[in-house]
Amino acid sequence: MTGIWQPSALAQDAPNLDSEDSQIAYAIGMNVGMNLVSQGLLDGLDSDIFLAGVTDSFDGDFSMTMDQMFAALEIFQQRQQELMEQQAAEAQRNAAEALAAGQEFLAENGGRGEVVTLDSGLQYEVLEAGPGGASPSASDGVVAHYHGTLIDGTVFDSSVDRGEPAQFMLSQVIPGWTEALQLMSVGDRWRLFLPADMAYGESSPTPAIPPNSVLIFDVELLEIVQ
């Protein structure tokens, strides 16, 4: 927010928080302010004037009429609506660009001899074959190590980096994992290339994964939990 929200000179003097009431009052103000800032509602506005409006509300000595307040708030709401529309349009553009980039990546990646492309669009590459044996079913749980990246190499999640494998049910993960892990045996280490519709699609669970992203996972199946 640096350079957008203008710090108030009033905030430079630390308040006395010795009493319980003062702590409650400060906590309420802190919570309200954090919410407003986190939502971007005060971007570009003068914090001294904002705080003056709050202060004046306690004694009712205002510098504008109620009609002027409503008119100003209507302008503010219009700005917020325009901002949301711009953000939605930008998100749609970004999602479309990510989808196109992912399709181009998969088309090129699928041409490599070591990559297998399934009917679903899922691609995988065997990095290391285990001793063979049983494969998990869709109703099984598994213990696995994984390292997830975007197509540009950005790491978004990694049990390898955390130093602890993950345990999960195959029925409760993204479709690409459910399909791929049923083809693996304990000890196998594969690299999975998941099309967006076999990963999170447009509904990303984290800002680290942009909507419509192709996801790449190095997965090592360690154990089947039945």
pLDDT of residue 189: 97
Q: What is the DSSP code string of 169-184?
A: EGGGS-HHHHHHHTT-
Dist CA 116 CA 110 (whole Å):
7
Tokens of residue 86, six digits: 């711009």
Beta bridge partners of 148: 157, 217
Please tell me the pTM assigned to this model: 0.71
Catalytic annotation, pick one of 146, 151, 168, 197: 146
Catalytic member of 43, 50, 174, 197: 174
Residue 183, both tokens: 């083809």
The catalytically annotated residue of 105, 124, 193, 217 is 217
Verify whether residue 200 is a known catalytic residue. yes
The 10 Å CB-count burial string (b at 16+, else e) for 189-215 is: bbbbbbbbbbbbbeebeeeebbbbbbb
Catalytic residue among 200, 216, 218, 224: 200
State residue 116 phi and psi, 5-degree precision.
-105, 130
User: Is 152 a catalytic site residue?
Assistant: no
The per-residue pLDDT for 4 is: 39
Paired strand residues for 144:
166, 221
Q: How far apart are CA 200 and CA 100, in angstroms?
A: 16
Q: What does the buried/exposed string (b/e) look like for 110-148 if buried means 16 or more CB atoms within 10 Å of the residue's CB?
A: eeeeebebeeebbbbbeeeeeeeeebbeeebebbbbbbb
Is 209 assigned a catalytic role? no
CB count within 10 Å of CB 63 equals: 9
Catalytic (active site) residue 156: yes
Catalytic residue among 26, 50, 140, 156: 156
Contact 137, 215 (CB under 8 A): no
pLDDT tens for the chain, 226 residues: list them.
333 344 444 445 788 888 999 999 989 988 998 998 888 888 888 888 988 998 999 889 999 999 999 999 999 999 889 988 998 999 899 999 999 999 999 999 999 999 999 999 999 999 999 998 889 999 999 999 999 999 999 999 999 999 999 999 999 999 999 999 999 999 999 999 999 999 999 988 888 999 999 999 999 999 999 8
pLDDT of residue 47: 86
Catalytic site includes residue 26: no
CA proximity to 176, closest of 200, 152, 151: 200
Rounded CA-CA distance 162/143 in Å is 14
- 27: amino acid identity, one letter: A
Q: What's the CA gap between 179 and 68, in Å, rounded?
A: 61
Single-letter amino acid code for the residue at 204: S
For the chain, give every domain's residue range. Answer: 118-225
- The encoded tokens of residue 116 equal 């297998």
What pLDDT was estimated at residue 204? Answer: 85
Q: Are 1 and 41 in contact (CB under 8 A)?
A: no
The pLDDT of residue 2 is 37
Catalytic residue from among 157, 188, 193, 216? 157
Q: CA-CA distance, 78 to 85, in Å (whole number)?
A: 11
pLDDT reported for residue 12: 55
CATH code: domain 118-225 is 3.10.50.40
Which pLDDT belongs to residue 15?
85
- The pLDDT value given to residue 123: 98
pLDDT at position 44 is: 86
